[in-house]
Amino acid sequence: TQELAAAMPYNLNKALEHGEIASCPEKGQTIEPSDPAIAGSTLTETIASEKAGAGDPRPGFNPGNESLDRVRVDSSERILTTNQGVPVSDNQNSLKAGYRGPALLEDFILREKLTHFDHERIPERVVHARGSAAHGYFECYEPLSKYTRASLFAEGGKRTPVFVRFSTVFGERGSADTVRDARGFAVKFYTDEGNWDLVGNNIPVFFIQDAMKFPDLVHAAKPEPHFAMPQASTAHDTFWDFISLMPESMHMLMWAMSDRGIPRSYRMMQGFGVHTFRLVAEDGKSQFVKFHWRPLAGTHSLDWDEAVKLAGADPDFHRRDLWEAIECGVYPEYELGMQIFSEAQAEAFSFDVLDATKIVPEELVAVQPVGKMVLNRNPDNFFAETEQVAFCAAHIVPGLDFSSDPLLAGRIHSYVDTQLSRLGGPNFHEIPINSPVAQTHNNQRDGMHRQAINRGRVAYEPNSLGGGCPFQAGAAGFTSFREPVGGDKVRGKAERFADHYTQATLFWNSQTPVEKAHIVRAFRFELTRVQTPAIRERMLALLVNVANDLAEGVAAGLGMPLPPAQPRATQNPAVPEIDVSPALSLFARPGNGGIRARRIAILVADGVEGVAARAVSAGLAREEAVSRFVGVRLGRVQGADGGNIEVDVTFEAMPSVLFDAVVIPGGEQAMTTLGNVGPVVEFIREQYRHCKPILVLGAGKSLAESAGVKLTLSSGEPDPGVLHFQGENVDVVLPQFVEAIAAHRHFERELDPPRV
């Protein structure tokens, strides 16, 4: 057969790939299929956790690899061809009638190239257009069969491949990463019983309660339609006009105006499924569940001034951070937690669990860790994977189910619908990044860009000609939880939805002083940008209902008197179970103390203390942090010890905001040189103002002080974020510096009294 195959043209070989069945399918689909699932076995052809493997992942390991291998293209050592596979001899010149003559219409090579180029763009996502993604896996800790029959939670150690996309919400595809916004946290689990998409955000609540208001919210937040400004910012009239008329948004607004709206990194933010979902066990029993992702690196944010400057210095800041961390083996990890509670518990809460503007405080239902997710491989191709991935809130698997949250109901419709125009038709599930690891068999056929070659003549059910296949899975398949429903057909909301402020107040009360100060600052900034005074006033009237000190702070910032409170939708909100929830503070999760992939600047010039600079660099490398020798220009500087240091980057190319911490290594001559360069002084000043850790060695003190760095707080106490070391052996001070970097920011400086 092989000899025959070799002698035949390629496409005639096709029949041989499939043997007799392909060459004469005379009995249609009644032929015994090779697929074990159809043959009656409960096994699917591909088990997701087999693909994900076990043990510590190898660098570059990607559980999704195999399924994508069939479409990977590598052109190394290949000749250039047209899309039809015709070798191209000249890719420089179009075909002309004479060297100076007109181009010829018959130039199919030029026409194919231009036509393809002309159609390279697809519509961007209507929200979450700007994003970055990575491959990885989810590993279940213990079987959760008591609560759910979802296959990914069936065994301890079971791994399921995932593809995760992080995004901003309101900016366009090319907008900056560090704008103030919620962040999307969308996870596609390729389980062995189909794809489950957990399409969440880094904020556990949403602006609105009903999907009916989603288009209004998005229209209000996006650039204003007459002049298409501002880009990727809610600081404008239409957003605040809408919000000030939507008191239900008050809770989400508190989160968005907090430092959660400007995360340091996708690796350092939480994720939330937001809605209440259901877990459904084998016996049909169901519990409610809320999903939480917790980053092992802790939750950390940027300073607003830093975020603004980063948008210019590196608009790809979060994309680059995610990419570089994975490339250097610092795999982002998140723990999945579940809050599991019964319907009876939910009934007793002071709030409605079907209202997406409410959280279930952790004091009421603890977050139970159930597994961890590791992101360990960057995509090969941004468009093919990150742009074409289609998440959908309707994609759930047996063992999970929806709740009757009215916001979720709209999402179940909207996501598939949007892909139809974004990805061009009903077959987007066949795009490799979207196609499940589990097999798909049904009678859906044809449509634009169909890839599958469904065989046989049967595309209906019931059938006898296809032996009844594909047959219904019955109880083994997805079954909706048998939830009794009743009631009149109405438009409206349940009573507890009308309490718009209690949890906004809970959030405010749970913040530390510095977080509160930042929230006031964020409101002040956004509302200062608003041009219509009546909108500012309406917002203040709403904030009075959240907390008086908040409203007073914002009013003072705006130079406005405090208006009376906006009348509440309900006069009798239920008494909340708690007034403070420490878990709501960003500082509640400082992380695991590591500084992997943090960026640290070591300032150098001729005459620098080279031994110390190199020792710090080596020490930080041992912690897997990324240090850079920053100089005035590229090339080498000569250390005081005579040795050379290669400058990695310049102050111009990588300004202060691109670093998490700075080292001023000393060396009289170097410090004098650097002190005379404006951008260097500004660099240090900004590090100090942004409350970052600063390590000052020996004679570096004069440079630090000339930039305004103070070694002590005004109380005389040492600033734990400013370390001054005089000794020879810098290894002595390094552990303290590492600890200061792991703590991320030293806000003592900011509040003591406001000095930066």
Contact region with ligand HDD (CB under 6 A), list: 198-206, 257-265, 550-558, 565-573: 198-206
If the CB atoms of residues 199 and 289 are measured against ligand HDD, the closer one turns out to be 199
Strand 599-603 to strand 400-402: parallel, antiparallel, or no bridges (unpaired)? unpaired
Contacts of 99 (CB under 8 A, 6+ apart): none
Footprint (CB under 6 A) of ligand HDD, residues 380-419: 390-391, 407, 410-411, 414-415, 418
Select the residue interacting with ligand HDD from 50, 53, 155, 214 (CB under 6 A): 214
Give CA–CA dist 542/113, Å, rounded.
57
Select the residue interacting with ligand HDD from 48, 52, 109, 128 (CB under 6 A): 128
Beta bridge partners of 132: 166
How many alpha carbons lie under 13 Å from residue 556 in its C-beta half-sphere?
9
Contact region with ligand HDD (CB under 6 A), list: 40-48, 200-208, 235-243, 467-475: 200-208
If the CB atoms of residues 182 and 438 are measured against ligand HDD, the closer one turns out to be 182
Give CA–CA dist 391/268, Å, rounded.
22
Given the residues 62, 135, 195, 201, the one annotated as active site: 201
Q: Residue 29, interface with ligand HDD (CB under 6 A)?
A: no
> Pattern 327-356, binding to ligand HDD, x per CB under 6 A?
-----------------------------x
415 is in an annotated binding site: yes
CB of residue 255 vs ligand HDD: minimum separation in angstroms? 12
Q: Residue 62, interface with ligand HDD (CB under 6 A)?
A: no
596 is in an annotated binding site: no
Question: Is residue 715 packed enough to be buried (19+ CB in 10 Å), middle (13-18) or exposed (0-12)?
Answer: exposed
Contacts of 740 (CB under 8 A, 6+ apart): 661, 693, 695, 720, 721, 723, 746
CB of residue 277 vs ligand HDD: minimum separation in angstroms? 11
If the CB atoms of residues 415 and 737 are measured against ligand HDD, the closer one turns out to be 415
CB of residue 381 vs ligand HDD: minimum separation in angstroms? 16
Select the residue interacting with ligand HDD from 109, 127, 539, 671 (CB under 6 A): 127
165 is in an annotated binding site: yes
Q: Supply angle C-alpha 505, 521, 723, rounded to 5.
A: 105
Q: Residue 434, interface with ligand HDD (CB under 6 A)?
A: no
Write the Ramachandran bin of 372: left for phi over 0, alpha for psi from -120 to 50, otherwise beta.
beta
Q: Residue 255, interface with ligand HDD (CB under 6 A)?
A: no
CB-closest chain residue to ligand HDD: 184
Distances in whole angstroms, Cα of residue 716 to Cα of each of 46, 140, 231, 692, 749: 65, 50, 44, 19, 12
Beta bridge partners of 167: 131, 184
Contact region with ligand HDD (CB under 6 A), list: 108-116, 127-135, 346-354, 653-661: 127-135
411 is in an annotated binding site: yes
147 is in an annotated binding site: no
> Pattern 131-150, binding to ligand HDD, x per CB under 6 A?
x-------------------
Select the residue interacting with ligand HDD from 199, 307, 336, 542 (CB under 6 A): 199
Q: Residue 360, interface with ligand HDD (CB under 6 A)?
A: no
If the CB atoms of residues 200 and 332 are measured against ligand HDD, the closer one turns out to be 200
DSSP secondary structure code for residue 461 in this structure: S
125 is in an annotated binding site: yes
Residue whose entry in the numeric block shows the structure tokens 């390991």? 61
Give CA–CA dist 126/422, Å, rounded.
9
CB of residue 407 vs ligand HDD: minimum separation in angstroms? 5
Give CA–CA dist 588/507, Å, rounded.
13
How many alpha carbons lie under 13 Å from residue 40 in its C-beta half-sphere?
2
Nearest to 166 by CA among 370, 323, 57: 323
CB of residue 735 vs ligand HDD: minimum separation in angstroms? 39
The tokens describing 77, both together, are: 């050592």
Contact region with ligand HDD (CB under 6 A), list: 5-13, 18-26, 123-131, 511-519: 123-131
> Pattern 220-239, binding to ligand HDD, x per CB under 6 A?
--------------------
Tell me whether residue 251 is one of the annotated catalytic residues.
no
If the CB atoms of residues 390 and 704 are measured against ligand HDD, the closer one turns out to be 390
User: What secondary structure does DSSP assign to 182-208, as a single string?
Assistant: -EEEEEEEEEBTEEEEEEEESSSS-S-
Residue whose entry in the numeric block shows the structure tokens 């400057």? 309
If the CB atoms of residues 211 and 296 are measured against ligand HDD, the closer one turns out to be 211
Nearest to 501 by CA among 289, 350, 347, 364: 350
Beta bridge partners of 279: 287, 400
Select the residue interacting with ligand HDD from 61, 67, 125, 587 (CB under 6 A): 125
Give CA–CA dist 536/239, Å, rounded.
12
**CA dihedral of residues 64, 65, 69, 73 (deg, nearest 10):** 110
CB of residue 543 vs ligand HDD: minimum separation in angstroms? 23
Footprint (CB under 6 A) of ligand HDD, residues 260-279: 274-275
How many alpha carbons lie under 13 Å from residue 13 in its C-beta half-sphere?
12
Footprint (CB under 6 A) of ligand HDD, residues 166-185: 167, 184
First to last CA, the chain: 79
Give CA–CA dist 257/260, Å, rounded.
7
CB of residue 260 vs ligand HDD: minimum separation in angstroms? 13
Q: Residue 536, interface with ligand HDD (CB under 6 A)?
A: no
Contacts of 333 (CB under 8 A, 6+ apart): 295, 296, 297, 372, 373, 374, 375
If the CB atoms of residues 33 and 410 are measured against ligand HDD, the closer one turns out to be 410
If the CB atoms of residues 418 and 702 are measured against ligand HDD, the closer one turns out to be 418
Nearest to 569 by CA among 484, 483, 501, 649: 501
Tell me whether residue 128 is one of the annotated catalytic residues.
yes
Q: Residue 252, interface with ligand HDD (CB under 6 A)?
A: no
If the CB atoms of residues 28 and 223 are measured against ligand HDD, the closer one turns out to be 223
Please enumerate, by residue number, every residue annotated as part of a binding site for heme: 125, 165, 214, 411, 415, 422
- Give contact residues for ligand HDD (rule: CB under 6 A): 125-128, 131, 165, 167, 184, 186, 199-201, 206, 211, 214, 274-275, 356, 390-391, 407, 410-411, 414-415, 418
Known catalytic residues?
A: 128, 201
Please enumerate, by residue number, every residue annotated as part of a binding site: 125, 165, 214, 411, 415, 422
